[in-house]
Structure 1
Amino acid sequence: MTDEDKKSGSNVAPLRAPRPCPECARPSHREHYPFCSDRCRNVDLNRWLSGSYAIPVADDESKADDDDR
């Protein structure tokens, strides 16, 4: 490896494997990982804040209470 290669950083390994953006499926960027842009990151944040993402709960609460005993 020459001094020029060291300066240019051409042999730097990526920290994470590239993945598609969960919102639009374009390649993700390191600055916005796992998203491709601030826009996609904000769309996802809006879904969290508006309650679109929710953990399902038991419909019948008596069954949930019986499981704890």
Structure 2
Amino acid sequence: MTKNSPTIFLLILLFWGCNSPTNEIHEEPIRLTLSEANRLAELPLSCMHVEYPNKLNQTLAD
């Protein structure tokens, strides 16, 4: 065995693994109704009035 045998083996294994056939999964696109889309859009907007501390020590000192 030569000194480069493990390296060559790993390269062959890498290329063999990359060329193996894949099982493609065909998923349906996500469909939202107008009410669901509005509910999702309101989630981040409902937290906009919450004020968070600007400095980390304001939370650690409490």
TM-score by length of 1: 0.30
Please state which structure has a larger fraction of its residues in helix.
2
Q: Which one has a bigger Cα radius of gyration?
A: 2
Of structures 1 and 2, the one with the larger relative CO (CA 8 A, separation 6+) is 1
TM-score by length of 2: 0.32
